[in-house]
Structure 1
Amino acid sequence: MGVDIDIAGLRPESVTVAPSPLAELGMALHALSEPGHHPGLQAWVTGVTARLDSHLADRMCEADFLWRTTFSDLFLPSAGLPGGPTPPGGTLAEELDVLDKLSDEQFVDAALEFTCALPYSSRGPSALADAEVRRRALDLAAARGPQQMQFSERLLADPPRIRSWLRQFLRDCDEAFFAETWARLRQQLAADARLKTDLLRHKGLAGALAAVSPAVTLDEPAARITVDKLGDGHTATRDVGLLLVPTSLGWPHLMVLHRYGWQPVLHYPVGSAELAAPPSVDQLALRMTALSHPVRMRICRYLARSAYTTGELAQVHGMTAPEISRHLGVLKKAGLITTRRRGRYVLHQLDVTVVARLGSDFLEGILR
Structure 2
Amino acid sequence: MSVTIDIAGLPPERIAFAPSPLAELCMALHALSQPAHHPGLTSWTTATAASLDPALADRLLEGDFMWRSSFSDVFMAFAGVPGGTGLPAATLAEELDVLDRMDDERFVTAALEHCWLALYDEGGWPSPLHDPAARARALATAAARGPRQLDFSQRLLDDPPGVRVWLRRLLEDCDEAFFAETWKRVEPAQSADARHKTGLLRHKGLPAALKEVSTALSVDEDRTTITVDKMVSGSTTATDPRIGTGVVFVPTNFGWPHLLVLHAPGWRPVVHYPLAIPEPASAPGSVELLQRRMEALAHPLRMRLCRSLARAPYTTGELARVYGISAPEVSRHLAVLKRAGLTHTIREGRYVQHQLDLAVVARIGSDFIEGVLR
- TM-score, structure 1 normalization: 0.76
What is aligned with 2:96?
A: 96
Q: Which runs of 5+ in 2 are unaligned?
A: 281-292, 300-361
The separation in 1 between residues aligned to 2:154 and 2:296, in whole angstroms, is 47
What is aligned with 1:348?
A: none
Within 5 A, what are the aligned runs for 1:202-281?
Answer: 202-221=203-222, 223-239=224-240, 240-273=245-278
Distance 1:292 1:367, change over 3 A: closer
Structure 1 residue 271: Cα displacement: 2.8
The separation in 2 between residues aligned to 1:48 and 1:359, in whole angstroms, is 28
Structure 1 residue 292: Cα displacement: 6.4
Distance 1:15 1:291, change over 3 A: closer
Say if 1:200 and 1:207, in contact at 8 Å, map to a contact too: yes
What is aligned with 1:363?
A: 369
Aligned length: 295
What is aligned with 1:156?
A: 157
The separation in 2 between residues aligned to 1:178 and 1:115, in whole angstroms, is 27
Alignment-mate amino acid for residue 33 of structure 2: S
The separation in 2 between residues aligned to 1:290 and 1:156, in whole angstroms, is 40
SS of 2:365's equivalent in the other structure is helix
The separation in 1 between residues aligned to 2:236 and 2:363, in whole angstroms, is 32
The separation in 2 between residues aligned to 1:151 and 1:185, in whole angstroms, is 31
Structure 1 residue 357: Cα displacement: 8.0
The separation in 2 between residues aligned to 1:46 and 1:83, in whole angstroms, is 41
Say if 2:70 and 2:113, in contact at 8 Å, map to a contact too: no
Structure 1 residue 180: Cα displacement: 0.7
The separation in 2 between residues aligned to 1:192 and 1:249, in whole angstroms, is 15
Say if 1:242 and 1:265, in contact at 8 Å, map to a contact too: yes
What is aligned with 2:61?
A: 61
Within 5 A, what are the aligned runs for 1:98-117?
Answer: 98-117=98-117
The separation in 2 between residues aligned to 1:291 and 1:93, in whole angstroms, is 44
Structure 1 residue 40: Cα displacement: 0.3
What is aligned with 2:201?
A: 200
Say if 1:14 and 1:85, in contact at 8 Å, map to a contact too: no
Q: Which runs of 5+ in 1 are unaligned?
A: 276-286, 294-355
SS of 2:205's equivalent in the other structure is helix
The separation in 1 between residues aligned to 2:142 and 2:58, in whole angstroms, is 19
Distance 1:8 1:132, change over 3 A: same
Structure 1 residue 119: Cα displacement: 3.8
Say if 1:216 and 1:228, in contact at 8 Å, map to a contact too: yes
Within 5 A, what are the aligned runs for 1:132-147?
Answer: 132-147=133-148
Structure 1 residue 116: Cα displacement: 3.4
Higher Cα radius of gyration: 1
Alignment-mate amino acid for residue 65 of structure 1: F
What is aligned with 1:34?
A: 34
- TM-score, structure 2 normalization: 0.75
Alignment-mate amino acid for residue 44 of structure 1: W
Distance 1:108 1:290, change over 3 A: closer
